[in-house]
């Protein structure tokens, strides 16, 4: 069986042969952004299936350049890879990851400022007061 995972769009799939003959190994063709089309086996591919609302991906170490390539895996890709013998890895994505974020990411200075704030006995009151002020100015 040969499975083609080529990427004109994020992923285009073409199933060439549906029959697996005894003793024959499935060849999966995928595309490395640097090297082009490469041949892989089911053991070469890491298929991550997210439980819940997360995104599914598949990845492989390119046999030509050793770079790890990761691509999104829609339902069709998942079915095709599973039919080719790829073992899935279920990934639990915490709900917090999917929550909308606002404001800039925290940095080293923010952590130091928070650490200094925690040194005071009334740190919670100060933190709560700052949070209330932010709510009023927003």
Give the domain range for residue 82.
2-97
Q: Are residues 89 and 132 in the same domain?
A: no
Please, where are the H alpha helices in 93-122? 95-98, 108-118
Cα–Cα separations (whole angstroms), residue 125 to 36, 113, 119, 128, 131: 58, 15, 13, 5, 10
Q: Are residues 7 and 71 in the same domain?
A: yes
pLDDT in tens, 27-36: 899 999 999 9
Number of domains in the chain: 2
Residue that wins the pLDDT comparison between 101 and 64? 64
Does the global pTM surpass 0.85? no
């Amino acid at each position: 069986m040969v499975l083609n995972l080529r990427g004109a769009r994020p992923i285009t799939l073409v199933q060439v042969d549906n029959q697996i003959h005894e003793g024959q190994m499935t060849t999966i063709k995928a595309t490395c952004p640097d090297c082009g089309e490469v041949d892989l086996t089911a053991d070469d591919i890491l298929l991550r299936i997210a439980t819940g609302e997360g995104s599914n991906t598949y990845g492989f170490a390119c046999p030509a350049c050793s770079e790890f390539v990761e691509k999104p895996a829609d339902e069709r890709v998942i079915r095709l890879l599973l039919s080719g013998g790829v073992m899935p890895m279920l990934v639990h994505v915490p709900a917090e990851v999917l929550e909308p974020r606002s404001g800039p990411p925290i940095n080293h200075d923010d952590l130091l400022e928070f650490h200094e704030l925690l040194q005071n006995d009334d740190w919670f009151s100060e933190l709560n007061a700052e949070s209330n002020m932010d709510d009023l100015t927003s």
